[in-house]
Amino acid sequence: MGKIILNVPCKFRITGEDLVQDKLLRILTDVVNDALKRASTNLKRRINPILVQNMQNHETFISLGSGKLQAEFGLTKDMAAKAQEGIIRILRDSTNIVVEKFRINKTSVTGKFEVNIIEADLQRFINLKSGAYVSQGVKNVHKYDIEWMKWLLTRGIDRIWQNHSIQYYNRMVPKSRQGYALMIEKTGGGGWAVPETYQGTLDNNFITDVAQKSEEAIADVVKNEIEINIE
């Protein structure tokens, strides 16, 4: 669920006299562990730009800032910008490096190097302060909780507002936060859902999509960083 785990296995084998093997393996273990420790400090610096670039280029992220989603969710430019900034901030904090110390195992050195991208659950994104607001509605009679980030990430094809739809205008509408779109009551059934192109569920949404699209580039960075530090 929105989590990438990159396991970069490393295994070294040495043959020869037992005493020589033991000494070499112990030296090699120290070299590997030191290399991974150095690599860990650089990985966040190299991984974060990959995640950020893929997010900024994602159609959902772009639509939130100046497209259909901005209109459908009723976001002002300032509200949309703050939400985008919050998403990027969480992404930059999401990389977690896990090193399982390499140890001697008979005639080999084995261990695990793991990079976790994005938290296992999406709660930080769902709870983003700028990902929700309270609306007074067109008639200023009732207050409505517009939890648009939660809807975007979890509700999929669900109809969230029964008997409502988004009305677009070819002129500026005073009561529209976005400028030319309003949610209105709709007779004859139906309802409003997140636009189909952008619908997401807990296991498949624009956050998980960014993570998956970043996986190959991140794996290359991890391997490169290890090679640099182990030479």
Indicate the pLDDT class of residue 57, thresholds 50, 70 and 90: very high
- pTM value is 0.78
Write the Ramachandran bin of 163: left for phi over 0, alpha for psi from -120 to 50, otherwise beta.
left
Helical packing angle, 59-66 and 77-92, nearest 10°: 150
Q: Which domain holds residue 188?
A: 4-230
- Per the structure, the count of domains in the chain is 1
Residue 11, both tokens:
């295994």
Q: Please check whether residue 154 is in contact with residue 202, taking contact to mean a CB–CB distance below 8 angstroms.
A: yes
Indicate the pLDDT class of residue 114, thresholds 50, 70 and 90: confident
pLDDT value at position 201?
95
Q: How far apart (Å, rounded) are the C-alpha atoms in residues 85 and 113? A: 31
Sign of the dihedral through C-alpha 116, 120, 121, 124: negative
Sign of the dihedral through C-alpha 40, 43, 48, 51: negative
Helix (H) or strand (E) segment spanning residue 109: strand 108-117
| pLDDT tens-digit map of 10-44 | 444 444 445 455 666 677 778 778 877 888 888 88
* Nearest one of 228, 217, 231, 226 to 10, comparing CA atoms: 226
159: pLDDT strictly greater than 80: yes
Computed over every residue of the chain, the mean pLDDT equals 79
Sign of the dihedral through C-alpha 35, 38, 40, 46: negative
Residue 194 neighbours by CB distance under 10 Å: 22
